[in-house]
Each structure stands twice: as structure tokens, then as C-alpha cells.
Structure 1
Amino acid sequence: MCYDVADDDRRQAVSELLAGYGPRVQYSVFEVAMPSPHVFEELRTALVGVIDGEEDQVRVYLLRVPDLDKVTVLGERRLEEREDFWIV
């Protein structure tokens, strides 16, 4: 899944939502494995509730399991998730 979201708050909400379903592989791209159509529908509904349908866009590219072995990654760069926390 990838996204282009115009507003910072909505972008953060989409990012946090997708992070609950899979790893971030680029700044606006997550690899999300859906265990069932029901889970996908829940995520789709949540995303529609977060984005502005006229200003934002989320794209879902479906890959079949056999096609996952055909993914080619060039380069070793890894993104580190930013974890905000408080030490009290």
C-alpha cells in the first residue's frame, strides 16, 4: 500500500494505521499482508474514514503469494520507525 496525503495530521494517521498492519518499506509505502478479506475491508473502511477523498489518495497493489518471490530490492537502505516516547 502506498499513499499521498496532503495534510500532516491525516498523513500521520494513515501512517500509524498502516504500521499496525505491516512494515514501512519507504516513507509512504507499507508492505501489508492481509490474512482475510474481512481484515482488508476493516482497513479499507478505516482509511476512508481518515483521508480526504478529494485531496488524498491511497493505492493498494494486490500481489499473489507466488509473486512475492519475484520482488526485487536494489540497495540495502532500511528505514527506522520513529518511536515517540516519554521517560518519567
Structure 2
Amino acid sequence: MQFILVTYDIENDRRRTKIHKVLEGYGVAVQYSVFECFVSDEDYAGLRIRLRKLMDPKHPADSIRYYHLCRGCVEKVDIDGTRPFEVASPFIIS
């Protein structure tokens, strides 16, 4: 299992909404275009395939980025505000 921060910048409203809906099945939206996901290797591979099909690689503004965070990095997440860290994971966040 891995913790991944997924960000995207998609210019087209329709494609952006479709990408957002797919990501809702894999993680928690912390901003409209930023998701925290705790996924298996298989789910991660499937997610990337699904998202690639929805983006337009010919459009220079379309991009999706996947940031893999190790356990130590996840434990160091600092949050200002009242929204809790919501990703269900085997990591112990203290």
C-alpha cells in the first residue's frame, strides 16, 4: 500500500469533472484538484490508466502529477486549520 498525493490541472471543465469523479473513488479531496490517496499497487496502476484516458495529452495545459509519500513524510504532514487528516491507512499519525 502506498500514500499518494495526486494533483491535476485540466483546462477543459468536462474532462476536469470526470477526473475529479474518478479520484473520489480512490481518495479524499483536500482541495478541488488535490487528492490524498492510500492505494495498493494494483489500484494505483488502474487509477493511472483511467486518468490517462480522460486527459488530453495533446493539450499543453493538461497534467496530472502523482507524489509518492513515504511513511516518514506522511507522519510529518503539518495542517493549519480544522479539517482533519482523513486518509484511512495503516500509518499511525500522531
Question: Which band: TM-score by shorter chain?
Answer: 0.7 to 0.9
Unaligned runs of 5+ residues in structure 2 are 1-5, 85-94
- Counterpart of 2:27 in structure 1 is 22
Aligned length: 77
* 2:68 match: secondary structure: coil
TM norm structure 1 = 0.80
2:49 maps to 1:45: yes
Following TM superposition, the consecutive aligned residue runs of length 4 or more in structure 1 with deviations greater than 3 angstroms are: none
- Counterpart of 2:74 in structure 1 is 68
| Higher share of residues assigned strand | 2
CA shift for structure 1 position 48: 0.4
Provide the C-alpha distance between the structure 2 equivalents of 1:76 and 1:48, rounded to a whole number of angstroms.
34
Provide the C-alpha distance between the structure 2 equivalents of 1:76 and 1:27, rounded to a whole number of angstroms.
17
Structure whose CA Rg is larger? 1
TM norm structure 2 = 0.75
Amino acid in the other structure paired with 2:72: P
CA shift for structure 1 position 77: 5.6
Give me the CA root mean square deviation: 1.5
2:61 maps to 1:31: no
Residue identity over aligned pairs, in percent, reads: 38
Unaligned runs of 5+ residues in structure 1 are 79-88
